Structure 1
Amino acid sequence: MCNRNPANDMCRRWCARPEGVSAHTDPDVDVRSPPGPGDRGSGTENRRRATATGGRAFPPRSFVRAGRAVHHERNRMMARTKRNRRSYSAGEWGRNRVRVFTDPKTGLYQMEWRENGRRLSRSLKHRDWTRAKRQADEAAAGFAVHEPNGNAEPEPLTLERLFDIYGEEVTPTKADRSRRYDRVAMRMFLGFFGLDRDPATLSQRDWDRFIRARRVGKVGPSGKPVSDRTVEFDLRFLIAVLNWASKSRDENGRLLLDSNPLRGLKTPKEKNPTRVVLSDEEYGALLGVSRKVDWRFHVALVLAHETGHRIGAIRQLRWSDIDFDDRTIVWRAEHEKTGYEHVTPMTDEAVVALEEAAQRRYPDAGDSPVLPAPKDASRCAGLSAVRYWWDKAQSLAGLEPKRGRGWHSLRRKFASDLMALPLKVLCELGGWKEAQTVLRCYQQADAGQLRKALESRPRVCA
């Protein structure tokens, strides 16, 4: 028989447990805090303790699990504070995270954010939960006063936004043809890499993927395969944009790009580029039919042959650039590809051609173009017009169309004909800025020059 007080409820629970069931397996006993030594002593020990103290024996201490209602009440009391301190977060961690929560002392909503690694907060001074969440969204979007110095969080730089900035600030400073190419190239790269692509994530894999796709015509305005020279030209434009972004800053003084992610990557090179030099016979044939094509074509052809300049600079000439007294031509920097303004003398053939053109000028035309447009005499002839004249002259002269034989072949002829001149003199005459460009792209020795060079070599007799 149990020696515990049957009037005690805990003792009744203890005695009611079936024999062989321990407190650790009884669901009615809480064993999370095990009893200390002596809590469950024998009856003899209890009686001895009671006799020594003059009291009665108490049953050993037992831990009984509280009822479900007691647990619910306890949890409700503990969670009351948490439910009252509701919170809402907007934005992204590490960028524009904003949190609103209830101040436990005042009940007003607080806004919390980080600035330069420091946690800052301020009171919103109201208890409207909907309004507090809206303020958190606006703050995360950069519209609230908590931003440092009142500046909004910068918009993430995407490839589309970078091209928009470049197109607004750099492209307008270029020539018409370059502006048109910039727009085409931007659309091509956006279509290939994506509008929302982060420029800083471009890598060697993207570089190689574009080269493969561009070569076979999977990307590009024409949809046709292109040469390595064209691919190189496209990639150099992309590199120029990224280089510009790595040196340009936004309104807050931050660089658009920390660095060019494609710096140092090799562009494809044309192994055997087509650089045609117009022969004397071909030039004579074109000159013979030049007046049948158009008087402006005759003047342009003679000037291209005698000055060695680009057709783009020749068609932009105005009469104020021509000095018949000193027999010189001023080549303006804004019309030169290199931006290099210079003055060159005229040959007799160039003077005669310009004097013929001057007779067609209206007396009150003022500073009119030397080669006026066919439909508007106040404007210079366009690129499409001079190309049409060239194709028509080839047809009349009986020359078969040949890839690479165009206006620029006259510039190569000029450099090759004057190969004996010092490079410095040749660069000044033709408007080249670097001598290496002349050696690499323009001067070409023909078979006669090679044979003559060998014949001039000193002979050694045995």
Structure 2
Amino acid sequence: MMGRTKKGRRSYSAGEWGRNRVRVFPDPRTGIMQVQWREHGRRLIRSLRHRDWDQAKQQADEIAAGLTEPRSDPADAEPEPLTLETLFDIYGDEVTPTKAKRSQRYDRAAMKRFLRFFGRHRKAKTLSQRDWDRFIRARRAGNAGGSRGPVSNRTVEYDLRFLLAILNWAAKSRDEEGRLLLESNPLRGLKLPKEKNPTRVILTQVEYEALLRVAGGMNWRFRVALVLAHETGHRIGAIRQLRWADIDRDGRTIRWRGEHEKTGYEHRTPVTSKALAALAEARRHNPGIGDTPVMPAPKDPFACMSRSLARVWWKRAEKHAELEPKRGRGWHSLRRKFASDLMDLPLKVLCDLGGWKTAETVLQCYQRPDENRLRKAIEEYRGVGIGSN
């Protein structure tokens, strides 16, 4: 009997009733294909360990043809090697949805790029040093799976760290039969490309004051966001998505929601009087309660202002303040200023205030002593040396 696909709920049947009937269908929760047949009057179901609909139908036909006696168990067969497409489908269904929206967009774009470069049917376990090096060269040149142009080593590193994260996850995750998706990460231990001289601009106090002076003549949202970024040290992505329910004026604290933090870490920090004054200004322009945005989009009072609008206002403020253009100066340069201004604080305290996950990140990427601080340190050192002689 020819196989047929049922209407409505997606399934495919092959074979004859009472003899070699086999049905395949996707698991409604995971989308992984399942095969169902009867053996000695018992209905049995096993996972096919993939999500390919056409492959599942072909397997149903093959299984039905082989069931001259209904004793064969498809689970006894050696599982098909895991392809990158299947691995990315599983990761995209189970892990990506747990991330922030921006990270979800990156995950989807990066996985699409890897599939175009390595191929959808490439076996994950066969990735090697040669593939690693090929991707680095191509991605740098802008030729990797739909890249739009040459990129820095930092961008290439970010992509490869994501690929490593997926492979590490697969090496710890098991399928419905208890088998590891991957026996091991085939790319583990390979050297990541590093930016020799990464651009990490720190906004100076003079530049901040210049921006603050022109902020009053711009949209009130920009001024509020500018002050909050300076006073709290948090990312603009978390600041622009603040809602009035996150603000405790009596307790003088702000709750930073994990869904808007790069680290996924929800925390609460005390705020300065300047930050409270900025929030009071926001309330005069936009009174609200509950989940009403503190800084709503100009055309939608129920949506937070967009990332692109924050970037446009920053560039406009730089122009009005007559600041010389500088690559890398932007909202994140305020976060570096915060870390450097509070360099004398214990690292644990600074991490909690700014929402950093590790002290190592602060030391490597954010703090940089200015000339005055270095001069003071050497003078104090020399003073101690002279006095001790």
1:368 matched to 2:368? The reply is: no
Q: TM-score, normalised by structure 2?
A: 0.79
Cα distance change on mapping 1:211 and 1:442 into 2, 3 Å: same
1:357 maps to 2:294 = no
In structure 1, C-alpha distance between the alignment counterparts of 2:214 and 2:156, rounded to whole Å: 37
Task: Point out the structure with max Rg over C-alpha.
Answer: 1
Structure 1 match to 2:330: 406
Among 291, 302, 306, which residue is 1:382 paired with?
Answer: 306
Tell me whether 1:292 sits opposite 2:217 in the alignment.
yes
User: Hey, what's the Cα distance between the residues in 1 that align with 2:67 and 2:124?
Assistant: 26
CA distance in 2, matches of 1:286, 1:214: 36
Residue 312 of structure 1 is matched in structure 2 by 237
Query: How far off its partner does 1:459 sit?
Result: 3.3
1:389 and 1:219 mapped to 2: Cα distance?
33
Find the counterpart in structure 2 of residue 253 from structure 1. Answer: 178
- Tell me the residue number matched to 2:123: 198
Which residue is 1:303 aligned to? 228
Q: Classify 1:265/1:150 alpha carbon distance in 2 versus 1 (closer, same or farther; 3 Å).
A: closer
In 1: Cα distance, 2:257 partner to 2:272 partner: 19
Counterpart of 1:239 in structure 2 is 164
Describe the shift of the 1:362–1:459 C-alpha distance in structure 2 as closer, same or farther (beyond 3 A). Answer: closer
Q: How many residues align?
A: 329
Rounded Cα–Cα distance in structure 1 between residues aligned with 2:73 and 2:110: 38
Q: Which residue of 2 aligns with 1:281?
A: 206
- Give the structure 1 partner of residue 33 of structure 2: none
What is the CA-CA distance between 1:342 and the residue it aligns to? 1.8
Shift of 1:337: 1.5
Question: Are residues 164 and 141 of structure 1, via their aligned partners in 2, closer, same or farther at CA, if it must alter by over 3 Å?
Answer: farther
Match of residue 434 from structure 1: 358
Cα distance 1:328–1:155, how it changes in 2: closer, same or farther (>3 A)? same
Change (3 A) 1:402 1:142: farther
Secondary structure of the residue aligned to 1:329 is: strand
Distance 1:395 1:221, change over 3 A: farther
- The corresponding residue for 1:444 is 368
For 2:65 and 2:162, how far apart are their aligned partners in 1? 34
Written as runs of structure 1 = structure 2, the 5 A alignment for 1:70-219 is 138-139=62-63, 145-148=70-73, 154-219=79-144
Please give the root-mean-square deviation of Cα atoms over the aligned residues, in Å. 2.4
Distance in 1, matches of 2:83 and 2:183, equals 14
- Quote how far apart the aligned CAs of 1:135 are: 11
Deviations 1:342-383 (A, max 9, x none): 2211111111110111122345x5430111112211111221
Name the SS for the 1:330 alignment partner. strand
Q: Write the distance in 2 (CA, Å) between the matches of 1:181 and 1:217.
A: 17
Q: Is the 2:115–2:145 Cα contact (8 Å) retained in structure 1?
A: no
Q: CA deviation at 1:153?
A: 6.9
Does residue 325 in structure 1 map to residue 267 in structure 2?
Answer: no
The one-letter code sitting in structure 2 at the alignment partner of 1:213 is: A
Distance 1:169 1:218 in 2: 30
- Mapped pair 1:460 → 2:350: no
Identity %: 68
Where structure 1 has 5 or more consecutive residues not aligned to the other structure, the ranges are 1-121, 123-133
Structure number with higher relative contact order (C-alpha < 8 Å, ≥ 6 residues apart): 2
Query: Cα distance 1:346–1:135, how it changes in 2: closer, same or farther (>3 A)?
Result: closer
SS in 2 for 1:429: helix
| Equivalent position SS for 2:269 | strand
Cα offset for 1:151?
Answer: 8.0
Instruction: Give 3-state SS (helix, strand or coil) of 1:425's partner.
Output: helix
- Report the Cα distance in structure 2 between the residues aligned to 1:212 and 1:178, rounded to whole angstroms: 25
